[in-house]
Structure 1
Amino acid sequence: MQSQDVAPRPAPSAADPVVDVEQAEAALVEHYPRLVRLAYLVLPSGLGRSRRVMTAHALAQRALPRNRTTTPVIPAQSTGRESDPGYALVRLAVVRTALEAGLPLRRRARPRRSQLPPLLPQVWGLKLFPRSGGADELALDQRLSALSGPGRAAYALRGLEKLPDGEVRQVLGAAGVGDVAAALREADSVPGQHALLDSPEFDPCSLQARPTDLMRRRQHTRAALVAGVALVVCGALLGLPGEGWGPDGAAAPPYARNPAAEAALDPGRLTRAAPAAWRSSDRTDFSVWPARGGLTDDGKLLRRALAVWARPGGTVRVSATPGTPTGGPAGPPRLLYAGTVDAARVVILHDGLRVVRYAEPEDGTAGAALDFARADGAGRAEATAVVLGRADGNVRYLTAPWVTEAAERDLTKPGAGAMELTLTDGVTSPLASPAQRSGACTSWNVLELTDGKDRRLMTDLGELVPARLTAGRPGSAAEASGAEALRTWAPFGCSLGAVRGQGVRSVNAWAFAEQPLPDGSGRGSWVCTRAETWRGEGARVLAQFHTPGGRYGAVAAKAESVPACGARDPQVLAGVLWKSATGDWYLLAAGGRDTESVRATGGIEASSNGNVLTARAEQGAQAELSGTLKDGGMLTGLG
């Protein structure tokens, strides 16, 4: 489909709201991730994912006006942006420049700034691109790539900004789109999977990194000359008695001598728990794990691990979960493991706040990796396992000394049973990791651990410490290993992919309501999943709806950093537009058992006594939900 030209922007009216630069800047800073995502969705996929990411950031950062200006577009009708002309102004600038960036260059026409590769931001030597989503996200991206720029803009404004068509027309018209009606018709041709626009697939602020053309970079003789000079200097340092940093492997050279820091980096001062300390200790956490592995006496390896922790060199791949400091240890840390895992030497350390993993190849230190994860406040339930290594889509764990059995279970198949894993000195045999899988989600393998009295499920979310899975009403949730809990989790296991890499400590699933379907085809179930983080903030809440015969649940609402569906506030209210087999559309909404009534306003006007609501609706209709609790309290819809 050919791109539609962007017409000149309409002249502002004297009645339009005036926006100060400071007001626009505040809106840009507050809503920067949303604006960059909007630009990314409007930009053509032909740019390539890496350039598309950089261009989206550049367009958002250039959206500020040079001085006081007017905006002819009404503000977005959403919490945090309502009645904010500053946000409307920068959003309009982002849409306009993203549309311009998609226009083809013409031979005799002077290119616009947005059509050229951005000078800033730039990242040399790396390609940055969003995390891969599932098959649904890939299919949506392909459908959007077939639209013109205005068509993509119309779809994004509907789905991401939740604007009705009248406001979409105003935004596109103000952005200079000549044929707004055609853009809306294009957007109509793509199925309304608007919830997918919040996926990490379309998030240019949550990125993965890969190197650029390494062969071409190797041909630069100047870099080779610099490396040669550095090698000569390093050789001279190695020849100095008692000095130099060669034994530290991939670590950077120390800047100055610091007796306290050197004591923390002395492998001879590493603390080690007695092999049976956990049996008599009042605490059952990482502090009582004994040191295991075949290389616990390899002083050179331990020294390298500690040195890289304190000052990782430029070639070391460093990762950390959100909210985890990456500085060196304040004192001698505790050694949990040192051994060989899948052709790599691995060291696991713990300093009371963090679990740290150092890994290097067996044949050298090139390509060393350093990973950090918060683990403060971990008890027996959370200090159950640590990731030792990942290879070929599989993961190996080091389990707590009190773990007696380990097994692999598919969370999406509750009746399939568990497959036993071998335990060798606390190390599991490899099991398939859902965190490394790409493409459509058809299964979600979890680790099942038994410690003699409890059975727990832990899931790999791409971090060092796996997340604990629980089920039940917030405040009284239990391990998710029971038959009923497994059935509750089954349709929603794949939704765990939405919280990968977020520093998640535990995820609870609570079946808060059941609702008869209006066509008599059975009962739908409502489940709220809440992912708590190690840092104590940024919890992610999903309300999901599952119908009979469907294998997976559908996300009806989501929110972040809210108390809903948690121990502090177990209440939740959510709704979804549902299409019956006969093609009729309904609004289905539900709250927990403490909800006395539910009401819908806005695009749908309806109310009901009790905790569920069913009302006829039109496709694409939007409504605001509210509820009354039995104790007289008020409840608003999630999201």
Structure 2
Amino acid sequence: MVDVEQAEAALVEHYPRLVRLAYLVLPSGRSRGRRVLTAHHLVQRALPRGRTPAPVVPAQRTGPEGDPGYALVRLQVVRTALEAGLPLRRRAWPKRAQLPPLLPQVWGLKLFPRPGGADELALDQRLSALSGAARAAHALRGLERLPDGDVRGILTAAGVADADAALAEADRVPDAYRLLDSPEFDPCSLQARPTDLLRRRRHGRAALVACAALAVCGTLLALPGDGWGGDGPAAPPYARNPAAQAALDPAKLTRVSPTAWRTSARTDFSVWPARGDRTGDRALLRRALAVWARPGGAVQVSATPGTPTGGPAGPPRLLYAGTVDTARVVILYDGLRIARYAEPVHGTAGAALDFARVDGAGRDDAGAVVLSRADGNVRYLTAPWVRGAARRDLRAPDTGATGLTLTGGVTPPLAGPVQRPGPCSSWSVLQLTDGKGTRLVTDLGELVPARLTAGAPGAPRPASGAGALRTWAPFACSLGALRSAGVRTVNAWAFAEQPLPGAGRDGSGSGTWVCTRAETWRGDGARVLAQFHTPGGRFGAVAATAQDVPACGPREPRVLAGVLWKSGAGSRYLLAAGSDGIASVRATGGVEGSARGRLLTVRAGKGARAYLEGTLENGKPVTGLR
């Protein structure tokens, strides 16, 4: 099964490749600008809505062809691109892919790929003469380097009635696969030209008259009392009561002394002082409070799962108000949530409001807040007790940390752990040092970074030590599957070492079993991954995943998982391992076998599926993660 998070990671990592594939499959009869936007639209809509079946892929395979998430997204792109090329019928409802894309949209510009040479033009003309299925076959052969058997399977799964006919039709195009990598067919490298300027001028005059009329109406609405004219992009007030009005008064914001954290019984967000160069900007603070209480329709509002987005019950605490890069940012805290309001330096168009749940946060969890994200970089606002900050690559445990200069508690731009084209080669984390130790946090696309730990579930420790860094290195990129899930902490626990079959013959050595458990701020929704790493491998392979289970946690500090493994000699095995306390392991179903102790190695066939059962030393049963 493929989770939507796994599919999203594959889509983001291979986005240019998927958009080029969609662009090649789409018919060339439409304008190049519309074809570009349609290709982006189809790829951005290719995510599944939930868990989706995927074929079993050997753990040793690398690259996108071995990624079930990529295979699933690629199939959806081919299917919708073929649907988009179908003609509309009078007596049938149009398919969603046949409709013009709502997003992305570009106003005032025409976008199209850079032109190629005569060979590329000739190839585009030949492809335009083919059917959509034949274009898809040609693109899968040349762009994806797939054999005809795999191409036939993808076309059939995408709804092509006669895949063999499509392959035969594609054979009419000469072997010009090298040209498919040309800028002529790259919808991510574009040229821009203006649209019809005279028509835009006429439309602009009409829009100017309409805006003037709206401005007059807005002025009339703002005249009585202290209406909504000063609240920026907030919606009009719908209720009047003393408590709501007090929560919108900038003068009543709670501000904490810069030294309050030194003597307070609590060490969390409630003792953060107000920082930034606009803490006295009453107009900005008023807009931030008003938008929190009544966000207008043009305000982009986001919240971590399980976080309410209603207005504050009373005056919140001010943590930050200042100019960050090209935006004015206000960060507020009401005891339950962190709220961040951001607007452009000039005007309020494009204002955004983000929420994160932080109830029950302690010193370890309240070390930093994301201040801004721009161009793949992240700025953090650190806690007043943080003495030093540094950047560290979680994929390179033997590389030292790079120190960062804190200015008023704000870090310089730090490269975020974003998914870029190609394999995941690094994962940036923020290292924070205070008077009680060093901790690692990572940006997972939310306001509050997730804290990384390592060790047994009953006694996890910060992931900043040498041993913990080596444990995390092969599995760092799996954190991408936890983005935007409200994650509070992620713990990595190396629970078993397992000798690999044939070690004496092909030098396989031993594999490492690691269980990563992500806890959320809301308490439920914990995500568990059992992963297996072999010597010499750059990444760990996900053997099993589970949601909302106690395994690998303090309530049930045990786990049992298995994986199909192929040796260097070509033999296939089922490898299974459990944590301490498991006295025996048994496999049933597609593979039969049992072993005393917590390790099991059984020969298996290609694509075999097995059900794992274990027995604890006290006789209680344990089931394997699936």
Q: TM-score range by the shorter chain?
A: 0.7 to 0.9
1:519 paired residue number: 502
Q: Is the 8 A contact 1:101 1:116 kept in 2?
A: no
CA distance in 1, matches of 2:481, 2:213: 47
Contact kept, 8 Å, 1:436 with 1:462, in 2: the verdict is: no
Give the 3 Å change call, closer, same or farther, for CA 139–233 of structure 1 in structure 2: farther
Q: TM-score, normalised by structure 1?
A: 0.71
Say if 1:543 and 1:555, in contact at 8 Å, map to a contact too.
Answer: yes
Counterpart of 1:588?
575
1:528 to 515, 536, 539: 515
Q: Take 1:112 and 1:56, find their aligned partners in 2: how far apart are those partners?
A: 26
Give yes or no for contact 2:41–2:103 (8 Å, CA) kept in 1: no
How far apart are 1:105 and its partner, in Å?
A: 7.3
Aligned to 1:83: none
1:50 matched to 2:41? yes
Q: CA deviation at 1:499?
A: 0.3
**Structure-1 separation of matches of 2:421 and 2:442:** 16
Distance, in Å, in 2 between the alignment partners of 1:50 and 1:260 is 45
Residues 147 and 124 (structure 1 numbering): CA distance in 2 closer, same or farther, change over 3 Å?
farther
Distance 1:140 1:322 in 2: 42
Shift of 1:146: 8.9
What is the aligned partner in structure 1 of residue 479 from structure 2? 496
Residue of structure 1 equivalent to 2:429 = 446
> Residue 159 of structure 1 corresponds to which residue in structure 2?
none
Q: Distance in 2 between matches of 1:416 and 1:55?
A: 38
Q: Aligned partners of 2:142, 2:364: CA distance in 1, in Å?
A: 39
Partner residue of 2:458 out of 475, 480, 489:
475
How many angstroms apart in 1 are the aligned matches of 2:533 and 2:208? 59
How far the C-alpha of 1:274 sits from its partner, in A, is 1.5
Q: Does 1:319 align with 2:286?
A: no
Equivalence for 1:572: 559
What's the CA shift for 1:547? Answer: 0.7
2:620, 2:479 → 1: CA distance? Answer: 31
**1:350 counterpart residue number:** 333
Determine the structure 2 residue equivalent to 1:544. Answer: 531
In structure 2, what residue type is equivalent to 1:236? L
Residue 602 of structure 1 pairs with residue 589 of structure 2: yes
* Deviation for aligned residue 1:228: 3.8
CA distance in 2: counterparts of 1:108 and 1:276, whole angstroms: 69
Distance apart, 1:413 and its partner CA: 0.8
Alpha carbons 2:80, 2:97 under 8 Å: kept: no
Amino acid at match of 2:321: A
Q: Secondary structure at the match of 1:489?
A: helix
Quote the Cα distance in structure 2 between the aligned partners of 1:144 and 1:247: 60
- SS, match of residue 614 in structure 2: strand
Residue 147 of structure 1 and its aligned partner are, at CA, apart by 8.3
Query: SS in structure 1 opposite 2:287?
Result: helix
Match of 2:356 in 1: 373
Provide the rounded CA distance (Å) in 1 between the counterparts of 2:88 and 2:220. Answer: 59
- Change in CA separation of 1:611 and 1:223 when aligned onto 2, cut-off 3 Å: farther
Q: 1:236 matched to which residue of 2?
A: 220
Aligned residues: percent identity? 62
Contact 2:451 2:490 (C-alpha < 8 Å) held by counterparts = yes
Superposed CA deviations along residues 569-623 of structure 1, whole A, max 9, x for unmatched, are 1221111111111122111111101111111111111111111111112221111
What pairs with 1:248-397 in structure 2 (closer than 5 Å)?
248-397=231-380
Query: What SS does the corresponding residue of 1:458 show, helix, strand or coil?
Result: strand
Structure 1: distance between partners of 2:156 and 2:615: 36
CA RMSD of aligned residues (A): 4.1
The alpha carbon displacement at 1:451 in A equals 0.8
Does the residue aligned with 1:383 lie in a helix, a strand or coil? coil
- 1:150-189 counterparts in 2 under 5 A? 151-152=153-154
Q: Can you list the C-alpha shifts for 1:514-551, whole angstroms capped at 9, x where unaligned?
A: 00011202110000001111111111111111111112
SS at match of 1:360: strand
Task: Report deviation, 1:230.
Answer: 2.2
SS in 2 for 1:614: strand
| TM-aligned CA distance change 1:442 to 1:587, over 3 Å | same
Q: How far apart in 2 are the matches of 1:615 and 1:590?
A: 12
The match for 1:635 among 609, 612, 622 is 622
Whole-Å separation in 2 of the counterparts to 1:107 and 1:114: 9
Alignment check: 8 A CA contact 2:267 2:362 kept: yes
CA contact (8 A) 1:101 1:115 kept: no
Deviation at 1:349, TM superposition (A): 0.4
- Aligned position for 2:125: none
Is the contact between residue 228 and residue 236 of structure 2 (CA under 8 Å) also seen in structure 1?
yes
Q: Deviations over 1:259-284 (max 9, x none)?
A: 32111010000001111111111110
Residue of structure 2 in register with 1:506 after alignment: 489
- The one of the two structures with greater contact order (alpha-carbon pairs below 8 A, sep at least 6) is 2
Report the 3-state secondary structure (helix = DSSP H, G, I; strand = E; otherwise coil) of the residue aligned with 1:390: strand
Deviation at 1:309, TM superposition (A): 1.1
CA contact under 8 A between 1:458 and 1:467: conserved in structure 2? yes
Return the alpha-carbon distance in structure 1 between the equivalents of residues 54 and 374 of structure 2: 46
Amino acid at match of 1:371: D
Q: TM-score, normalised by structure 2?
A: 0.73
Q: Deviations over 1:488-531 (max 9, x none)?
A: 11111111001011110000000010000112021100000011
Aligned residue type for 1:375: V
Is the Cα contact below 8 Å between 1:506 and 1:532 reproduced in 2?
yes
Pairing 1:412–2:407 present: no
Query: Deviation at 1:363?
Result: 1.9
Number of equivalences: 512
Seen in structure 2, the aligned counterparts of structure 1 residues 339 and 530 have a Cα distance that, compared at 3 Å, is: same
Contact conserved, 2:88 with 2:98, CA < 8 A, in 1?
A: no
- 1:114-133 aligned at under 5 Å gives the runs 115=95, 117=97
In structure 2, C-alpha distance between the alignment counterparts of 1:429 and 1:622, rounded to whole Å: 49
d(CA) in 2 for partners of 1:100, 1:393? 30
Q: CA deviation at 1:243?
A: 2.8
Equivalent residue, structure 1, for 2:15 = none
- Given the superposition, is the C-alpha separation of residues 541 and 153 from structure 1 closer, same or farther in structure 2, using an over 3 Å criterion? farther
Q: Is the 8 A contact 1:574 1:625 kept in 2?
A: yes
Residues 348 and 111 of structure 1: CA distance in aligned 2, closer, same or farther (over 3 Å): same
Match of 1:134 in 2: none
**TM-superposition CA deviations, 1:434-484 (whole Å, max 9, x none):** 047555311011111111121100001111100000001112111111111
**Which residue of structure 1 aligns with residue 190 of structure 2?**
none
